Each structure stands twice: as structure tokens, then as C-alpha cells.
Amino acid sequence: MLALFLSISRLDGSIEHQILEWELEISTEFDNSFICRISKILQKYQLPTAEEIMKNPPSKYIWKKQLQKAINDYWSSIWTEECNTKSTLKHLSLQNNPVNNPHNIWKCVRNNQYDIKKAELKCKLVTGTYMLQSIKAKFSKNIVLPDCKLCKDNDETLEHFLLECTRLGDVRQKCMAKLVNKLREIEGGGWYNRRQ
Ligand SMILES: [Zn+2]
């Protein structure tokens, strides 16, 4: 919609441009005209007004850059606010340019059902919304047992699931090895050595 608006804005003297000018003159804040919807989007992303753009339309390249930055700034500010206020998001780091740069959990998903399921599970674990047995037990007033269904040695808490469960040891070892190698790369190993 914005691309169409910019194209028409750049067609100075055309019928389409004149219609837009006319719509701009007669539109009110409450109608559902094309120009009104455009104005609301521009306002939402704190971009120049429709009138300003029509008078002085930017090149496609500049417009694309400006639009991308505005959309990123808008969502970045909203998501930063949510990360700071919602406890479920405290372990999710917001990356630069978040609209085009999804969280690593989603970025490494390949286009198959198994990968998507894995990512969903990771997301639930990171946001504390995965229903571990200990949580199910709490909500059911202990009708459901909190025991880990894999090893049956302990309650299935997040710590147990991620760090202790012996039945997940093999998978954990592979991930830990990768993690430690990565941490050794970061800061030339400073992070890892400090914890030895
Ligand atoms: Zn276990």
C-alpha cells in the first residue's frame, strides 16, 4: 500500500496524483479512504505526512531505507518495553534490527515440521511456559506427580530438565560442548576461564 502511494506521489501531474490530492483535501480522520489509511500508517511509524511526501517524494531507495528504519524503530521500542516489563521475556534478548533479524531460536529453523516443533519447545522453555511435570503437579494440587517421566529419579523442574536428567545426558553433552567452544571463542576464552 505504501509502495503504491509512493509510486503515485512520484507521478506528478497524473490523474492518479490529482485524485490523491483531492482525497487528501476532503478526507477526515475517521473515514476509510486510501489516503486516510496511508496517513494513519505514516503517523504510526512517525514518518513524514502524506502531504509532505506528495509535495516532495523521496527516491525509491531513500524511501525503502527510511521505511525500514521507521518500522524497525517502532517494533524495537515496543518489544524492548515488553521485554522489560514481562517476566516471561526476561531471558529473550532482543537483537538489533529485530523485524528483519528474528531471534536465534527461529533463525535456525529449517522448513520442516521437526525443526518447527523443536523451536516451539525451546521458546516455551525460554519463556517459562513449558508445562514441566513439577508445574503440572502444582496446578493439579499434586494429583499429577511431579516426577520426571524420563529418569523417574527426581522432580521434573527446569533445572532438572536442562542440567541434571541422566536420560538427557547424551544430548546435553553435545550441546554443552558446542556452547563451551562458542564461549571460548568469545572474549578469547575469558568467560569460560573465569568459571573454571
Ligand atoms: Zn529426569
Q: In angstroms, what CA-CA distances link 134 with 15, 20, 131?
A: 67, 61, 8
Residue 186 has pLDDT above 80, yes or no: no
Contacts 24+ apart (CB under 8 A), 192-195: none
Contacts of 103 (CB under 8 A, 6+ apart): 92, 93, 95
CA 161 to ligand 1 center in whole angstroms: 6
What phi-psi label fits residue 46: left (phi over 0), alpha (psi between -120 and 50 degrees) or beta? left
Closest CA to 126 of 162, 91, 172: 91
Residue 155 is classified by DSSP as B
Q: Cα angle vertex 136, ends 130, 142, to 5°?
A: 160
Q: What is the mean pLDDT of the chain?
A: 88
Q: What pLDDT does residue 188 have?
A: 66
- Distance from the alpha carbon of residue 94 to the mean position of ligand 1, in angstroms: 31
State if pTM tops 0.85: no
Q: Cα of 164 to ligand 1 centre, how many Å?
A: 7
β-partners of residue 155 are 147
Output the pLDDT for position 87: 87
pLDDT of residue 116: 94
How much is the pLDDT for 131? 93
The residue that leads in pLDDT, 89 or 31, is 89
pLDDT of residue 168 exceeding 70, the answer is yes
For residue range 39-82, list pLDDT tens digits in order: 999 999 999 999 999 999 999 999 999 999 999 999 999 999 99
Distance from the alpha carbon of residue 134 to the mean position of ligand 1, in angstroms: 12
Alpha-carbon span 155 to 162, nearest angstrom: 12
Once rounded to an integer, what is the mean pLDDT over residues 118-138? 92
User: Rounded mean pLDDT of 109-116?
Assistant: 93
